[in-house]
Chain A
């Protein structure tokens, strides 16, 4: 069965925009000693541009493996995957590096910032690998940090920041190359609920600006920010529920948040607190 010949494949235009993620019957086997473990048993998934998708599932359901394959950190054992219309199986290692760099922004559960390195340098890093000139690099990194409300923390090192702030730096790093897809692996797993809501509000805003976001979570509260909720169990999709249309506003974002991004996101759980300062000078 050749997925390439499947009707409605990528690029076969029917007037609809090309999906960002197009997985067909993706299978992933792991060799653990002499045992072969099937982490994914045939996942077919299409994610449209501008969607905000939450993937839920118990641990061992294959959601991390799915994210790694979508993020080009791993390749499927069988099946096909088109990312932004490109068949990932045709890419070699250096092409995959370039794809990870330009088309995907990663946010990890444990932030994964580089220690002893300023927020600015961390955010500049993907641009460095993309070969952007130093001056542009700095401008774009500062803009990304301002977009997540950390314009006043650019010289701080990870150890000098709270978990929520570190995760916002990680989000800034993920969006700085202007990727078509933002992937987040339990982005709120290590955060308290206030920081968690802050980060999810940022994701909602980024999505509202037109970015495609796919995140993994096992918290229903986090999933409630998504436009579409997918559940995995034992390596297969068992539930795929659309909450709101792709073109509509993210469910937990109200109109007021849409106009301009303030430097600090007022978390939904702390609306009673006085508002924070305004946009800091760049």
Chain B
């Protein structure tokens, strides 16, 4: 009894009821394909999140006034009113003596307005800031130039617009540079167009208009408005935590409070990145768990079919035993049948997974991880052996006379 004979007999057994075998194969296939695809989707989405956060810059800190966001307001009580980010804070943070690891501080004054140009209108976020803002937020200028320090000091009504704003306001082929657009009721001259950053998922990073904070205060928010946030750029990604503690102590002394009672919250992009990565890796695990369940269900399908097969072929088992098949041969035969079914399921599942990854799922192409293919395929075979063993053992343990009497 060679391995080839065993395989040939088992294959004939599988082929005996083609539809039933095919449906069982389908069950395993769906399990394997869903493991591969869902792990791929999870990986793709966590990579997308990582790249979005990386594009925000991992060496920046965002200082938010807690009064505005309500963060920590309960413990701070009435202090929230006093916690405004002002130009004085910007100057203090830019002092090389107090904060040596801070390379730039950009105030952010943001508001939402409707931009119009010759009858086209588009709702966008207007960010009032300083020239360092573009660098801190990782924007690059596609045409024209960014805002300058002179323009900030002169309260010039100039604006750098995002690619989405440009494409929505201006007809295709026309040059927005030098044109005057309305932001709300005020006119601003377009001096630059930003390169597209793509959809960041959190907010459309291209639906922006960046102007000097002085002119935004003049025309849109009023002088009384304090900054929404400050973008603080550290000298490098490795000194970001150092920069964060310097920012905390500078702000604390500025506002006559302690670091612990600081009425601002500081978002560290690096910690945001690690939190987001952890979240998305949890998501991948969750998807993999769902897929694993479907693989398990496929395995139970194999067991079910093998039990039916053994019952149906009790007489055949009796005949084989009567003419001298040892227990081990019967066991092997049915085990190999189960493994053939799960092997087919595994192979077709991997193929379906690979083909499926060519399609966009949930906004991104699944990233095929070699480990997920190996895992899904391996588990499919293991499932065949595991769930095939009980029925095969039952077949092998049948007593020949009872098996022969079975109708």
Contact = CB atoms under 8 A, between A and B. Distances in A.
Interface of A: 68, 71, 73-74, 93-94, 97-102, 106, 108, 112-117, 125-126, 128-131, 134, 173, 177
Given A73-B400, A108-B404, A116-B12, A126 B316 contact: no
Contact of A114 (B2, B319, B326, B329): B319
Q: Give the interface centre of B322, B325, B328, B329 by most chain A CB atoms within 10 Å.
A: B322
A100 B404 CA distance: 15
Contact of A97 (B5, B321, B404): B321
Nearest to A137: B5
Contacts of A71: 322
Given A114-B316, A128-B1, A129-B1, A73 B322 contact: yes
B335 to A, nearest CB: 17
Nearest to A104: B324
Contacts of B327: 93-94, 97
B197 interface: no
B12 A125 contact: no
Contacts, number: 64
Interface of B: 1-2, 5, 12, 16, 315-316, 318-329, 400-401, 404
B333 to A, nearest CB: 11
B322 A128 contact: no
Nearest to B400: A73
16 contacts: A73-B322, A73-B400, A73-B404, A74-B401, A93-B327, A100-B322, A106-B322, A108-B322, A112-B322, A113-B319, A114-B316, A129-B320, A129-B324, A129-B329, A130-B324, A131-B1
A112 B12 contact: no
B401 A101 contact: no
The main secondary structure of chain B at its interface with chain A is: helix
B151 to A, nearest CB: 88
Nearest to B9: A128
B329 to A, nearest CB: 6
Contacts of A114: 316, 319-320
B401 A98 contact: no
Contacts of B322: 71, 73, 100, 106, 108, 112
A134 B6 CA distance: 13
Contacts of A173: 323
A211 B300 CA distance: 50
B10 to A, nearest CB: 13
A116 B16 contact: yes
Contacts of A99: 324
A112 B319 CA distance: 6
Contact of A125 (B2, B320, B326, B404): B320
